[in-house]
Structure 1
Amino acid sequence: MSVVYQKRLRGWRFTLFNLCLGLGHALVIFNAGAYIAMLPRVAGGLGVPPSFATWTQTDYMIALALAFPVGGWLARRYGEYRPFVVAFLGFALAAFICAYCTSFYAYLAGRILLGFAGGLTLPLGQALLLKEYPDKRKSLGIGVWSIFTLTPFTFGPPLGGWIADNLGWRWLFWLNIPLALAIAGIIGAMLCRRCYQRIWQRFDGVGFTLLVMTLFGLQTLLNQGNDWDWADSAYIRGLMAFIGVTLIYWLVWELNVRRPFLDIRLFAHRNFTIGVLILFLGFLFFQGLLSLLIVQLQLALGYSSWEAGLVFLPMAIFAKPMASVFHEIVKHCDARLLASANLLGFAATYFWLSRFDDPDAFAQLFWPKLLEGACLGSFFVPMTALLLYGLPAERQWRALELANLMRIAAGAIGIAVQGIVLYRRAPLHLTHFAENHGAFELIDDSVLNALLTMEFAEPAAFAKFTKLAGRDAVIHGINDAFWMAGCVFVGMAALVWFAHPTRTPVKVNAERELRRETQELLAEEA
């Protein structure tokens, strides 16, 4: 089909178009960040354990990750705006399922559909936006789109906490429905006569299906391993075998098919392998620790959802400014130097957070979270430059599809992994506490004596003392998770130097510069 692309939008239509695409992008990312603060209330509302509530977030993110490459294929086959409109209609339907269903598994299915539909809109929306800008102003379009990238995620937890405390957690989904329908209707009406150039490319259905089974199987294993006591359960052992078989079959299939769902041959490039590994591990710890802290602040330390979400508000202060600065710095520096400095900054943040010992001292979390926001803003740009270096232009978009899928999936895996770390470490610290506080030592314990002097009856004082000991064990378990993350980030700061140095040409044409900015922005999404 020949390309028949009508005149670009102008005036108020162009402004409305930008607002709708930006709002849609922010809506999808907001649903990832805001939901974290709601997890304890979701568990109570559905009548399930906290680990099952976590399952609804991790499967949402896995679906979001799988949708990224599918969105690119749909754009090539059917154009951008048709799949975009259908995806937002699906997003509205999924939001209704989540808002209405009381059955856990029906609700989980709704969350998966919500994640997949939302994930489709991210690359499609960016492509739609850039098409409306003339070549000389596409950098402005990228700047507009970048406003809606990191900001919704960092503001998500406090706003999500406020919704959960004041309106109820299901209102997140009720609010999604009219917004998604409005975005689909307006974009569809504005672009309804747009044609596109169809690229006939076979979809690797087998590779996609095998990857879906592998990732959802792995996520189910990590989410339910603690509940089923791991290798002592035949169900868990069977799940492990299933994941192993499907993973091996998927790898063999992708290496032998002509147009694979994901181009895993890219791992033959050293820079790509190192860059993607750091992206994977970095987001595994960042997302996992974020979820761990925000949930335990509510479950163990008595914070409201709003108060727990506020802990992450400092991250918004420096995240976007740092990203803008690094977009320029990376043009003149070796990406390895920037990446190493960034990873050491993350390590310093997590070592700092591992000293957290006062649940009521907000300052103990505010300053390291401020530093973490600066590190988050400066994380993606050097990593994107590193992993794409040396790849031909025609393979760079495939590289970004694979890197984005692994990064988002790592966030889901990290949430489950950090839950496992706390599940193992908190009881260990409680055991150590019991070993060091025998019956005779308790008589002289200052905390217990203080409770007794506050006119607590002896049984009530002992019950309160036990609760405080459990809270202290959880804090030490969280600190262990932060300390381990700090060690891993130090190792990654050293690993980055095994990559080839990145050398940016002195003169870069406008087309290449635009492609670089678009790739960096795509790597920051979700």
Structure 2
Amino acid sequence: MSFIYNKRLRGWRFVLFNLCLGLGHAVVLFNAGAYIAMLPRVAGGLSIPASFATWTQTDYMISLALGFPTGAWLARQQGEYRPFVWAFTVFALASAACAYCTSLYGFLAARIVLGFAGGVTLPLGQTMILKEYPDRRKSIGIGVWSLFTLTPFTFGPPIGGWIADNLGWRWLFLFNIPVALAIGGIVGALLSRRGAKTVFSHFDWIGFSLLTLALGSFQTLLNQGNDWDWTNSGYLQGVAFTCLAAFLYWTVWELGIRRPFLDIGLFAHRNFTIGVLMLSIGFLFFQGLLSLLIIQLQLAMGYSSFLAGLVFLPMAIFAKPVASIFHEIVKRCDARPLASFNLLGFAGVYFWLSRFDDPSSFAELFWPKLIEGICLGSFFAPLTVLMLHGLPPARQARAVEIAGLMRIAAGAVGISLQATVLYRRAPFHMTRLAETVTPFDPGFDQATATLTGAGVPETAAIVPFAKIAKQQAAIHGVNDAFWIAGCVFTAMALLVWFAKPTREPQRFSWRRRALELLAREV
């Protein structure tokens, strides 16, 4: 057992500590949120197709997810701040490798290490910041943490786009290096005399390895399915078999040992299962649609990286204020109606976005994104309360580990799934356009005559129509993805009512009321 130094930080040290932990949390998530806007430029910088560049985002998030429960185990073994400092040191080194790698696979390996180191810091930072607040003010610490959680998904895309347009995408990783080293150094200096009560337990290497194999092979299947034609590829069939076998063996192993990597026995609790599924599926569509839209705005509609990221800035207006309010509201209300109303709000926004048809109209994206910011701010609190309701305090920390891993991994899966939706639906809409817009259409003849009259050769006059058709097919494919998301969120808004209420309504009793009045008179 280590020496325990319980005195909390005060004054400027407390403020600096909060800023460092919040900034560290934001930096890790910025490398997911801001990086999305850079993907087309990363593809160009590495001379790879855009679909290959997506691997560097999804694999980062998978490793980020695996690092989350690993960080929680390290906290139990060594305390929080030492692994936190070492993880940010590795984060800085991996950032340097990302900044200077010129090949896809070297860059991909560096991104995986970067994600795992960042994932380790997430539970450590959250635990450390809550320990510095007294019990009556821990809600303030949670509010500070959630404030920095939302920042990368609201300010991240426009900042990442600006960096890509004006400085170059590699500067994101160059900025990581001094920031990560400063955060690790300052936190280490502030807590250098701080010990921790540690509990020794063996790390479940087999469970961790099997889960890594299952998630890695599943993500590989999704990443490369479109390129290798899914079931017609023997390579992908082998990957699918490996994924299924690893997952089944991992499930049996985790249920049979005393200290598993993840406590999957928690899925026997109805509220936990419903809550964690809602969080994961919701984040799957949110992250996947964010990536799909921001990439297609650049590739199909001609937006710059900065302008494409700027589309998501309206979410920042209400996301953080609503999040701070909902942390208090959820303490006084049943979480089910709050969660259901939130999911219906997401469904309405996505049905609205599925009607997008004018690439040059910023207003068609501004107003739905503004409302989506309200939904994002009210998304996490009610579902987290619903998920943890009824669990003993000793198992709540393990529940948060599973939820964190599943939510982050679902974001990676969502990026690949939405790319598959576009891959399937865009050619369908291209075919429909080819069937309806033909040389026998009067509008087609008139437009062609206008172009040829302006001096454009007749053979070249077809090219603008082909570009417009390709753009419209991409827009309709993105709209289909939003429509599917709206249907799924509507179904989730109904499913959430199968959970047990988090607060029982107080029943009015005439007998009790009469006894109270009689007692007052006496």
Report the TM-score, using the length of structure 2 for normalisation.
Answer: 0.94
Work out the CA distance in 2 between the residues paired with 1:154 and 1:478. Answer: 20
Residue in structure 1 matched with residue 475 of structure 2 by the alignment: 475
Q: 2:146–2:323: 8 Å Cα contact kept in structure 1?
A: no
Structure 1 counterpart SS, 2:168: coil
**CA-CA distance at 1:2 after TM superposition:** 5.4
Q: 1:442–1:448: 8 Å Cα contact kept in structure 2?
A: no
> Is the alpha carbon distance of 1:355 and 1:85 closer, same or farther for their aligned partners in structure 2, counting shifts above 3 Å?
same
Query: Which AA in structure 1 matches 2:351?
Result: F
Q: 2:76–2:198: 8 Å Cα contact kept in structure 1?
A: yes
Aligned 1:344-383 pairs, distance under 5 A: 344-383=344-383
Residue in structure 2 matched with residue 487 of structure 1 by the alignment: 487
Residue in structure 2 matched with residue 46 of structure 1 by the alignment: 46
Structure 2 gaps, min length 5: 507-522
Work out the CA distance in 1 between the residues paired with 2:329 and 2:134. Answer: 26
**CA-CA distance at 1:183 after TM superposition:** 1.1
Residue in structure 2 matched with residue 9 of structure 1 by the alignment: 9
Aligned 1:408-419 pairs, distance under 5 A: 408-419=408-419
**CA-CA distance at 1:71 after TM superposition:** 0.8
**Correspondence 1:198 to 2:202:** no
Q: 2:143–2:327: 8 Å Cα contact kept in structure 1?
A: no
Structure 1 counterpart SS, 2:154: helix
* Mean Cα deviation higher: 325-334 or 130-139: 130-139
Q: 1:448–1:465: 8 Å Cα contact kept in structure 2?
A: no
Aligned 1:269-280 pairs, distance under 5 A: 269-280=269-280
* Mean Cα deviation higher: 331-340 or 143-152: 143-152
Work out the CA distance in 1 between the residues paired with 2:419 and 2:91. Answer: 28
Residue in structure 1 matched with residue 149 of structure 2 by the alignment: 149
Aligned 1:373-452 pairs, distance under 5 A: 373-441=373-441, 444-445=444-445, 447-452=447-452
Query: Which AA in structure 1 matches 2:130?
Result: L
Q: 2:143–2:324: 8 Å Cα contact kept in structure 1?
A: no
**CA-CA distance at 1:447 after TM superposition:** 4.7
Residue in structure 2 matched with residue 516 of structure 1 by the alignment: none
Structure 1 gaps, min length 5: 507-526
**CA-CA distance at 1:21 after TM superposition:** 1.6
> Is the alpha carbon distance of 1:504 and 1:181 closer, same or farther for their aligned partners in structure 2, counting shifts above 3 Å?
farther
Work out the CA distance in 2 between the residues paired with 1:128 and 1:504. Answer: 33
Query: Which AA in structure 2 matches 1:251?
Result: T
Aligned 1:237-316 pairs, distance under 5 A: 237-316=237-316
Residue in structure 2 matched with residue 219 of structure 1 by the alignment: 219
Aligned 1:316-335 pairs, distance under 5 A: 316-335=316-335
Structure possessing the higher radius of gyration over alpha carbons: 2
> Is the alpha carbon distance of 1:272 and 1:467 closer, same or farther for their aligned partners in structure 2, counting shifts above 3 Å?
same
Work out the CA distance in 2 between the residues paired with 1:383 and 1:38. Answer: 31
Q: 1:165–1:305: 8 Å Cα contact kept in structure 2?
A: yes
Aligned 1:52-71 pairs, distance under 5 A: 52-71=52-71
Query: Which AA in structure 2 matches 1:44?
Result: G
Residue in structure 2 matched with residue 337 of structure 1 by the alignment: 337
Query: Which AA in structure 1 matches 2:474?
Result: V
Residue in structure 2 matched with residue 509 of structure 1 by the alignment: none
Work out the CA distance in 1 between the residues paired with 2:228 and 2:264. Answer: 33
Structure 2 counterpart SS, 1:458: coil
**Correspondence 1:461 to 2:434:** no
* Mean Cα deviation higher: 342-351 or 8-17: 8-17
Q: Aligned residues, how many?
A: 506
Work out the CA distance in 1 between the residues paired with 2:335 and 2:306. Answer: 38
**Correspondence 1:110 to 2:110:** yes
**CA-CA distance at 1:199 after TM superposition:** 0.5
Query: Which AA in structure 2 matches 1:486?
Result: G
Q: CA RMSD in A?
A: 1.6
> Is the alpha carbon distance of 1:12 and 1:386 closer, same or farther for their aligned partners in structure 2, counting shifts above 3 Å?
closer
Structure 1 counterpart SS, 2:333: coil
Residue in structure 2 matched with residue 165 of structure 1 by the alignment: 165
Residue in structure 2 matched with residue 514 of structure 1 by the alignment: none
Query: Which AA in structure 1 matches 2:149?
Result: T
Deviation digits for residues 410-441 of structure 1, max 9, x if unmatched?
Answer: 00000000000000000010011112233333
Work out the CA distance in 2 between the residues paired with 1:443 and 1:459. Answer: 17
**CA-CA distance at 1:465 after TM superposition:** 0.8
Deviation digits for residues 277-305 of structure 1, max 9, x if unmatched?
Answer: 11121111111000000000000100000
Identity of aligned residues (%): 70
Q: 1:447–1:465: 8 Å Cα contact kept in structure 2?
A: no
**CA-CA distance at 1:188 after TM superposition:** 1.6
Q: 1:331–1:504: 8 Å Cα contact kept in structure 2?
A: no
Query: Which AA in structure 1 matches 2:292?
Result: L
* Mean Cα deviation higher: 144-153 or 415-424: 144-153
Deviation digits for residues 82-106 of structure 1, max 9, x if unmatched?
Answer: 0000000000011001001101101
> Is the alpha carbon distance of 1:455 and 1:191 closer, same or farther for their aligned partners in structure 2, counting shifts above 3 Å?
same
* Mean Cα deviation higher: 89-98 or 116-125: 116-125
**CA-CA distance at 1:134 after TM superposition:** 3.7
Report the TM-score, using the length of structure 1 for normalisation.
Answer: 0.93
Query: Which AA in structure 2 matches 1:482?
Result: F
